[in-house]
Structure 1
Amino acid sequence: MYDQAKLSELIRFARVEAGSTVIDVYPGDGDWTRLFSDVVGPKGRVFSFVPTEIADLKPDQVGRMRTLAKEPGRENVEAVSADLVAMPEATQPADVLWLHLFYHDLHTALVQKKGATAAHFNRAVYGRLKPGGSYVIVDHAAAAGAGAGDAQSLHRIDPASVREEVEAAGLVLESESSMLANKDDPHLIKVFDPSIKGETDRFAYRFVKP
């Protein structure tokens, strides 16, 4: 996770507010789900969405999110799991859909094993967002011009490629942030390499549904 200043800035960037409905896609350890739960408050809702394509990456990930939802004060959290393209049926219309360090995985064999593609998922996002809702993507940057070619090997993606794909689904880029940029990242090594782990050059985009 990030320091408190960056966490606060990312939440503002995502436009998560009291009363918002948020879908946290691939929640991992649930850190973002907890943060969003605190921000949206009792009148808001957070769907901690575990795609079935990756549910087996960590032991009983769905069960852990259900346990999180039972923590005191987490009545606004619901743990759900479904195929990526079935996300609209498993959730409710959202003000914010949050994708943290996961978009590149839409271009990997693991995620595509059930037939889902980035284009399929982006259309699902468009259908699930309320008009004016935000689709927020934070990910590891690949070298300019790399497209999605490094998604499988380096777990990176070219920001320009992400923008092109998401806009093709009808969403509009409203804002981008360089708060997580790192000009010293060579972009040519895997994000888990000890020399760059936790310090990768990252981009943040906020798209909106017109």
Structure 2
Amino acid sequence: MTINRRLALALAAGALLAGSALSAGATDVTPLRAAIDGPQRGAANVARDGARHPYETLEFWGLKPGQTVIEVTPGGGYWTEILAPYAKATGGTYVAGVTDLANPKVSEGGRKARADFEAKYADKAVYGQIRYANFGAVSGPLGAPNSADLVITARNIHNYMVNPGMLDKVMADFHAVLKPGGVLAIEEHRANPGQQKPDVGDGYVEVATVVAAAEKAGFKLAGQSEINANPKDTKDHPFGVWTLPPTKRTAPGGQPANPAFDRSKYDAIGESDRMTLRFVKPA
């Protein structure tokens, strides 16, 4: 049986069971389980579930059937593999905010990365009709005003802070596209209070920084979770957060890997300590 066929059967069964649960007054979670457990997910991503807690995280953020979900800067697609099939199964829409092709300054590497991403998730039988939005430091709106139910950005805030003014710009973009009552979901490497570096060069950001930026854009903090906390993370690694899994850097960025670097300490830590936040656009 093909992956497409197995996934379709799993999601259909999930939707059927969820419908029965809804008629009994229960919460619809079965299609999400089906998407997380589906054969469309890559082995490397599945191996990270113990650190990223996809079910608990999406439940905390309030993912529901039929929603329009925008994921901004989806990277390699850890969440795409879950959210796109889930949207397809529940009558929702998954939108990926990716490299801004309208920006003439975007590198060829950036354009290729977007093309590769679109090709990877082109199978409509598995992922449905994924929509794409240009996203970047000078991009236009992510969609029509007040059109999205949920905007997700995971492990990206530190990147937005490198370009002066970009964090304020993207927060305003998130606020504009969300419906009143819509949710902004953020996961980010967490710096200890008072220890955020001025250039965020190690990848760690303080919770207060994220909250201040979101509130400046008009959001209200609606919840914080320790789902993705890691108390073993000492946050003092030689190559920043990228010393840890999954990147496992052994030399400064742009330099060849150092085969003599002892990784044992960092592999034992695991993935970073992360904040998991939920903001709401007031009605």
TM band (smaller chain): 0.7 to 0.9
Instruction: Determine if the alignment matches structure 1 residue 101 to structure 2 residue 148.
Output: no
Displacement after TM superposition at 1:89 (Å): 4.6
Report what 2:169 is aligned to. 120
Q: 1:203 aligns with which of 257, 275, 278?
A: 275
- Alpha-carbon RMSD across the aligned residues, in angstroms, is 2.6
The count of corresponding residues between Structure 1 and Structure 2 is 204
Q: Distance in 1 between matches of 2:108 and 2:60?
A: 31
Larger radius of gyration: 2
Amino acid at match of 1:126: H
Q: 1:135 aligns with which of 171, 184, 193?
A: 184
After TM superposition, the structure 1 = structure 2 runs for residues 34-49 of structure 1, keeping only pairs within 5 Å, are 34-42=81-89, 43-49=91-97
Q: Percent identity?
A: 24
Structure that is richer in strand per residue = 1
Q: 1:61 aligns with which of 105, 113, 116?
A: 113
Report what 1:7 is aligned to. 54
Superposed structure 1 runs of 4+ greater than 4 Å apart: 53-59, 89-92
Displacement after TM superposition at 1:168 (Å): 1.1
Instruction: Determine if the alignment matches structure 1 residue 83 to structure 2 residue 136.
Output: yes
Displacement after TM superposition at 1:20 (Å): 0.8
Displacement after TM superposition at 1:86 (Å): 2.9
Give the secondary-structure state (helix, strand or coil) at the position aligned to 2:276.
strand
Sort the Cα spacing of 1:160 and 1:172 in 2 relative to 1 into closer, same or farther, 3 A: same
Displacement after TM superposition at 1:90 (Å): 4.9
Report what 2:217 is aligned to. 169
Instruction: Determine if the alignment matches structure 1 residue 70 to structure 2 residue 117.
Output: no
Displacement after TM superposition at 1:23 (Å): 0.8
Once the two structures are superposed, residues 107-129 of structure 1 have per-residue CA deviations (whole angstroms, 9 ceiling, x without a partner) of 11xxx2xx652111111111010
Q: Distance in 1 between matches of 2:205 and 2:221?
A: 17
Structure 2 gap segments, 5+ residues each: 1-47, 245-265
Displacement after TM superposition at 1:74 (Å): 2.0
Amino acid at match of 1:193: T
The question of whether the paired residues in 1 share the 8 Å contact of 2:97 and 2:142 is answered with no
Displacement after TM superposition at 1:31 (Å): 2.3
The question of whether the paired residues in 2 share the 8 Å contact of 1:62 and 1:79 is answered with no
Q: Distance in 2 between matches of 1:47 and 1:146?
A: 34
Amino acid at match of 2:95: F
The question of whether the paired residues in 2 share the 8 Å contact of 1:148 and 1:158 is answered with no
Displacement after TM superposition at 1:131 (Å): 0.8
Displacement after TM superposition at 1:76 (Å): 3.2
